[in-house]
């Protein structure tokens, strides 16, 4: 996985949140729909389904997630400008994340902010956000499963 742009400097107050698209292998079609979310002892698995009749699915697996938030995209109208640039891929990182700042404050600074990443998956109907230390593992599943 690779993100465009660099990290903001440690200790600097972020100016604004913005979506940084992240390319994956295999790639994730930009119009994939949220199919399933499973949070278990093995980690968080988010399944996206292809918009066509193939039934193929993409699984994004976060082995160690700290927080999960799912919102209907219609209820995030004020934030939609943050997600500009998602056309190429629905997966990205949110730089300047206020949610990470909130989580760090709630943990009384136990969580090291510079190690956390705010991942975002934007689908036509939902916005799924995850705070995790590591990027997701991405796996393509055929339509037979």
Q: Does residue 10 lie in a domain region?
A: no
Residue 82 makes CB contacts below 8 A (sequence gap 6+) with 17, 18, 19, 94
Distance of CA 47 to the CA centre of its chain: 12
| Within a domain: 130 | yes
- In what helix (H) or strand (E) does residue 106 lie, and over which residues does it extend? helix 98-106
Predicted pLDDT at 119: 96
Prediction pTM value = 0.79
Order of strands across the sheet that contains 117-122: 2-3, 18-23, 91-95, 117-122, 126-132, 65-72
Structural domain contains residue 89: yes
Residue 45 lies in a domain: no
List pLDDT tens digits, range 23-54: 888 888 777 889 999 999 999 999 999 877 67
Residue 128 in this model has a pLDDT that exceeds 80 = yes
Q: What is the pLDDT of residues 52-72, one digit of tens each?
A: 767 789 999 999 999 999 998
* Cα 5 to Cα 63, 115, 128, distances in angstroms: 25, 17, 22
Percent of all residues in the chain with a pLDDT value above 90, rounded to a whole number: 41
Q: Is residue 19 part of a domain?
A: yes
Looking at the structure of the chain, the number of domains it has is: 1
Structural domain of 26: 15-33+66-139
């Amino acid at each position: 996985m690779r993100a465009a742009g660099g990290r903001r400097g440690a200790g600097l107050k972020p100016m604004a949140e913005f979506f940084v698209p992240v390319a994956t292998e295999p790639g994730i079609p930009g119009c994939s729909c949220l199919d399933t979310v499973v949070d278990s002892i093995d980690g968080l698995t988010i399944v996206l389904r292809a918009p066509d009749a193939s039934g193929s699915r993409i699984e994004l697996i976060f082995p160690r997630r700290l927080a999960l938030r799912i919102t209907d995209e219609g209820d995030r109208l004020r934030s939609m400008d943050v997600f500009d640039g998602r056309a190429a891929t629905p997966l990205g990182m949110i730089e300047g994340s206020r949610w990470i700042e909130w989580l760090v404050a709630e943990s009384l600074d136990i969580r090291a902010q510079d190690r956390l990443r705010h991942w975002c998956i934007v689908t036509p109907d939902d916005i799924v956000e995850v705070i995790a230390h590591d990027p997701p593992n991405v796996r393509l599943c055929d339509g037979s499963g």
